[in-house]
Structures are given as C-alpha cells and as structure tokens.
Structure 1
Amino acid sequence: MNNSNKRTIIYEFTQDDLKNELENRFGRKLSNHEIKRAKKIFNISIQEALSQIYYSVYSVMSND
C-alpha cells in the first residue's frame, strides 16, 4: 500500500467539549452527575465504534 493513500484522523474530544455540546443541545446547564454519565456513555460508544472499525478492517484484510 502506498503511504500517500494512508490518512490518519485524530480528534481529541475533551470533557469540556462534551459538556458544552450537551448544554447547547439541551439549552440548560447540566449537573455533574449528568456530565459524568454522558461521558461514560460517550466513551463506551467510541470503544464500540473503534471495535467495529477494527473488525471490518480485519475481515477485509483476512479475505484478501
């Protein structure tokens, strides 16, 4: 594979970013409990997404 075809996308989504985004969507300040719960759900979602991407790439590579 040619290195020029590889792309790496890195985006760091901080707890403050998550808090601001949720407060903008709900139109109110969130409690610390709500923020912690949202962060936990967000982190689980990211892990699930990464595992799905890994599985998809692994499946394609193993079928070659």
Structure 2
Amino acid sequence: MGIVSSKPDDGAALYLRDQNRLNISSLVVTSPRKRTSVNVVPNAFPTTKITAQRTLGDTSPIEFVQ
C-alpha cells in the first residue's frame, strides 16, 4: 500500500499490490461520535488506484497510527 498525502492540493492515492489477495469495495472511517472522517474508494476492477477523500468542506488534518 502507499501513503495518503498530507498536503491539501496533492492527490491522495493508495495503491494495491495484489488484487487477488485483497479486494476493497469501500472503506469509511468514522469518529467515536459517528461522524465520517474519511471515505476510501477504489476505481473499477482491476483496481489500479484507491482514493481517500475527506468530507466536503472538512480541511482539518487526519491523525492516524500506522
């Protein structure tokens, strides 16, 4: 997998290495208050790119542990 960019103007892209072992249709990250933080969506199969997007209008940074 790749990394999500920390700059707002950069395209945030994650890359799958082996699609036969892992297939993601959608991933939604929520906060403890049930607010959506990040939507992660791949392009059509065969997936070549996964895009991570924030909720519209939300420009605050995302903190995560890898």
User: In proportion to residue count, which structure has more helix?
Assistant: 1
Larger radius of gyration: 1
User: In proportion to residue count, which structure has more strand?
Assistant: 2
TM interval, shorter chain, is under 0.3
Q: Identify the structure with bigger relative contact order (alpha carbons < 8 Å, sequence gap 6+).
A: 2
